[in-house]
Structure 1
Amino acid sequence: MSRIGLSTSAVYPESTAHAFGYAASLGYDAVEVMVIDALSQSISAVTQLSEHHDIPISAVHAPCLLFTQRVWGTEPWGKLERSAEMAKAVGAEVVVVHPPFRWQKDYARDFVNGIAALEESTGIAFAVENMYPWRASSKRGMEMYLPGWDPSAESYANTTIDLSHAAIAHDDPIAMADRLGSRLRHIHLTDGTGNAKDEHLVPGRGTTGAAEFLRHIAAAGFRGEIVVEISTRKAASRQERETDLRESLEFAREHFSSQLGPSLRGTSDRREG
């Protein structure tokens, strides 16, 4: 049965500690730790948060964003090794990673084989995430990732679909899921409207067909992790942020569990209660 988790990035500008609090109080099944702030970089700190709130950690998101280029050093393979170390220590089976930026040529040169080697040596699934062409609102997109932004074009054993990224790329996430098949390991549940911004909307507030996507992967037998990764940075209050997080969780459970068999749906209902 897939768990519905909360990304710690979804509560920004509040901290990783606050994310665990929201997840526990709202009834999320797990937390995905995005490695950004000091707390999220500490294995002992996230372990203590997980134990204190009695909520497991489903995944670690490696620090591969533009603004985390210096988190855990500047050597990209070292960042992934440290991410795997954290995942093992906290009981997570997945590390989420973005493909290299085009200027990271040495890193990108053997990225596909390097990811496979890391999975073999660590026993952790490195779920490579779909990205998107960079573009201004009215201009043609530029390829900013190597070997490419679409993980279905490569031989990765494990992958992540992010619905906001699919919206920017004008890519159909259902078609991508079908291309990936059993290699789809992880979902970043969010939404977008197809403009050039990475919006990370509450699912259902965009145009990616998030409900149809959840129903489709459930019917196809998806049993990986589903993680709410929305942006609440513009929330006017803590209450508004909590409302968005609750709505996202309810959306996920409604549309994913609607395609499950009665026994699995009952499991989800008992957990929610």
Structure 2
Amino acid sequence: MEPTETDRHIPVALSSASVYPLSVHDAFAVASDLGFDGVEVMVTNNATSQKADELIHLAERYSQPIVSIHAPTLLLTQQVWGSAWNKISQSCRMALDVGCDTVVVHPPFRWQGNYAETFAHGVRDLADAFGVRIAVENMYPWRVRGRETLAYLPHWDPVGQGYRDVTWDFSHAATAREDSLEALKALGDAVRHVHLTDGSGRTFRDEHLVPGQGTQRVAECLQHLAGNGFEGAIVAEISTRKARGAGDRERLLAQTLAFARTHLGQTVAVD
């Protein structure tokens, strides 16, 4: 008998960014304790996040496969792995080393010259060369004194850009005041990867709220993906930096995991 859509298990993983300022090691430990299906490693200034052998050891120790590598394309990681193209190449190489096939990247900033101008073709060529999927993440417009500033090239919105693979982030969508459900429908099969979070849309800041605490139709989006052949991973990427008291960070992450399981139609673990 052929498997049905409901038989296909969409992995729900934990981004190492969700435990910041704790370490990558902590991300694997928390993911294991709470019952996630894997970990997305964001490459940062943290030495462990840059070493495939140490990441493999953590994955094996905690029985948490690495589902994706987030390339160091953030402003805060400008000094990691040199030039922009080298950051992506190194991330692709690491993905292969740790046994995953997805690399998450941000679109270029307009001031990054030739890298920005050749980005769309360049990521496709690198994806083909390494045999991985380079999923370009949706961002949001920068606003100065209420006016939009063109920070990204070709655009902060991947819809209509022709990318083969896209990462969709609900917090970024809220900041951009986009409708995620309509965007996911427009992107169709290009949606490879999802950062599970939320945002209020009332601020220009990137909030990374627990899903369900913002204005995005996150539940409907997960239901849409579960019923439309989505073959990627859902990765919890919420901010827990303001967690207070013992177990508060774990409570927020467990809530996020339960939200995903519920709206993907998966069994929710009960303590």
TM-score range, shorter chain: over 0.9
CA displacement at 1:27 relative to structure 2: 0.1
Alignment of 1:99-114 (within 5 A): 99-114=107-122
CA displacement at 1:219 relative to structure 2: 2.1
Alignment of 1:157-176 (within 5 A): 157-176=164-183
Alpha-carbon displacement from aligned partner over 1:1-37 (angstroms, at most 9, x marks no partner):
2100000000001110000000000000010000011
Question: How far apart, in 2, do the equivalents of 1:122 and 1:223 lie?
Answer: 20
Question: In the alignment, what sits opposite 2:90?
Answer: 82
Alpha-carbon displacement from aligned partner over 1:101-126 (angstroms, at most 9, x marks no partner):
11112111110000110011000100
Q: Which runs of 5+ in 2 are unaligned?
A: 1-8
Structure 2 SS opposite 1:135: strand
Question: In the alignment, what sits opposite 1:40?
Answer: 49
Question: How far apart, in 2, do the equivalents of 1:237 and 1:64 lie?
Answer: 32
Pairing 1:239–2:247 present: yes
Alignment of 1:131-150 (within 5 A): 131-136=139-144, 139-150=146-157
CA displacement at 1:238 relative to structure 2: 4.2
CA displacement at 1:213 relative to structure 2: 1.4
Question: In the alignment, what sits opposite 2:137?
Answer: 129
Structure 1 SS opposite 2:110: coil
Pairing 1:95–2:100 present: no
Structure 2 SS opposite 1:174: helix
Structure 2 SS opposite 1:96: strand
Alignment of 1:221-236 (within 5 A): 221-236=229-244
Question: In the alignment, what sits opposite 2:204?
Answer: 196
Question: How far apart, in 2, do the equivalents of 1:210 and 1:237 lie?
Answer: 28
Q: Which letter does structure 2 place at the counterpart of 1:236?
A: R
Structure 1 SS opposite 2:148: coil
| TM-score normalised by L of structure 2 | 0.93
The farther-off stretch of 227-236 and 151-160 is: 151-160
| TM-score normalised by L of structure 1 | 0.92
Question: In the alignment, what sits opposite 2:3?
Answer: none
Question: How far apart, in 1, do the equivalents of 2:117 and 2:223 lie?
Answer: 37
On the 8 A contact 2:37/2:64 being kept in 1, the answer is yes
Q: Which runs of 5+ in 1 are unaligned?
A: 258-267
On the 8 A contact 2:171/2:198 being kept in 1, the answer is yes
Question: In the alignment, what sits opposite 1:261?
Answer: none
- 119, 127, 151: which one aligns with 2:158: 151
Q: Which letter does structure 2 place at the counterpart of 1:69?
A: Q
Question: In the alignment, what sits opposite 1:269?
Answer: 267
Alpha-carbon displacement from aligned partner over 1:111-149 (angstroms, at most 9, x marks no partner):
00001100110001000000000115x602212111111
Q: CA RMSD in A?
A: 1.5
Closer/same/farther in 2, CA of residues 272 and 160 from structure 1, 3 Å limit = farther
Q: Which letter does structure 2 place at the counterpart of 1:169?
A: A
Closer/same/farther in 2, CA of residues 270 and 149 from structure 1, 3 Å limit = closer
On the 8 A contact 2:133/2:165 being kept in 1, the answer is yes
